[in-house]
Structure 1
């Protein structure tokens, strides 16, 4: 069963676009799906993630934010898949 990760982003965010495309390259290999959440559509998300995007989470667990580090993401996904 694939993990579904929440990817918080907003329009016209170059860092978000780069992170999204990078994650798409590894989706199948790392066994996850992305649920894209546009923070500009939700005031709560804007307040929580506005200055931190892009943000990648699994449920309540922060996986990475800002400038993504693929090694950190890979390790956290490995840890999560071991738990499930």
Structure 2
């Protein structure tokens, strides 16, 4: 079963780039479909996440934000099998 992930990002965000790479690595362990959302295109989303990005959401729950943590992401996705 493919896990639908939403990644909230913005342009010129090194932490977002790192999180994107981490999610790509996780594709080796989990079937992931990643939808990337630029927070700057929607005022409500921007206000909600501007201090948290990057934000990874799975099943409408934030599973990680800020610095990428491979183990934390892996465990969050693994417990939702």
TM-score, normalised to structure 1, is 0.89
Aligned length: 81
**Gaps in structure 1 of 5+ consecutive residues:** none
1:11 aligns with 2:11: yes
1:66 aligns with 2:71: no
| Cα shift at 1:60 | 1.9
Do the aligned partners of 2:15 and 2:66 also contact (CA within 8 Å) in 1? yes
| Cα shift at 1:28 | 3.6
1:40 aligns with 2:40: yes
2:51 aligns with 51
1:80 match: secondary structure: coil
Task: Please state which structure has a larger fraction of its residues in helix.
Answer: 1
C-alpha RMSD of the superposition: 1.1
Do the aligned partners of 2:8 and 2:53 also contact (CA within 8 Å) in 1? yes
Distance 1:41 1:59 in 2: 22
Runs ≥4 residues deviating over 3 A = none
TM-score, normalised to structure 2, is 0.92
